[in-house]
């Protein structure tokens, strides 16, 4: 009995090839996910650093502008100047908070990896449909 090319051996080899392909695809997708996470971490760090610096400079600038306006109107309308400055700051803060909320709702983490998984799923579905059609043709023959 030769055990080199029997049907069972071919099924086992096909299963091994399939498993190997699945592992290779999974490894590729995992590497892509890791690279994307590293890029996202670096982008987030630089974004936070630059945002912090910009926020600090902006706060100093607004403080100096408020001080200038209050000193300029100190004799005549100091309470009005303080109220207007506070109102402008509150409205500006609300606008910035709304912008931050809209940015935070945009999904960006692992976008490419998820797109690749969707493509893989579609290809597998197409392959399954094609194999089903081929099987139906063989049964009709």
> Which one, of 32, 23, 22, lies nearest residue 109 by Cα?
32
Lowest mean pLDDT among 12-26, 94-108, 115-129: 115-129
Q: Is residue 141 part of a domain?
A: no
pTM (two decimals): 0.44
pLDDT recorded at residue 112 = 73
Size of the chain, expressed as the number of residues it contains: 141
Q: Is residue 40 part of a domain?
A: yes
Average pLDDT, the chain: 81
Number of domains in the chain: 1
Per the structure, the complete domain to which residue 19 belongs is given by 7-130
Q: Is residue 1 part of a domain?
A: no
Q: Is residue 33 part of a domain?
A: yes
59-74: pLDDT as tens digits: 888 888 888 888 888 8
Find where tokens 């610096």 sit: 53
Find where tokens 């300029």 sit: 72
Q: Is residue 135 part of a domain?
A: no
């Amino acid at each position: 009995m030769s055990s080199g090319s029997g049907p069972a051996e071919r099924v086992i080899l096909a299963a091994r090839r399939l498993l190997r392909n699945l592992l290779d695809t999974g490894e590729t997708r995992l590497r892509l996910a890791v690279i994307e996470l590293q890029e996202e971490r670096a982008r987030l760090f630089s974004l936070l650093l630059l945002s912090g610096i910009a926020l600090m400079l902006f706060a100093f600038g607004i403080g100096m502008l408020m001080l200038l306006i209050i000193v300029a109107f100190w004799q005549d309308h100091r309470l009005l100047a303080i109220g207007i400055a506070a109102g402008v700051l509150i409205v500006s803060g609300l606008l910035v908070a709304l912008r931050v909320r809209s940015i935070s709702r945009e999904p960006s983490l692992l976008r490419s990896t998820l797109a690749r998984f969707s493509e893989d799923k579609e290809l597998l579905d197409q392959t399954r449909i094609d194999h089903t059609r081929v099987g139906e043709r063989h049964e009709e023959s």
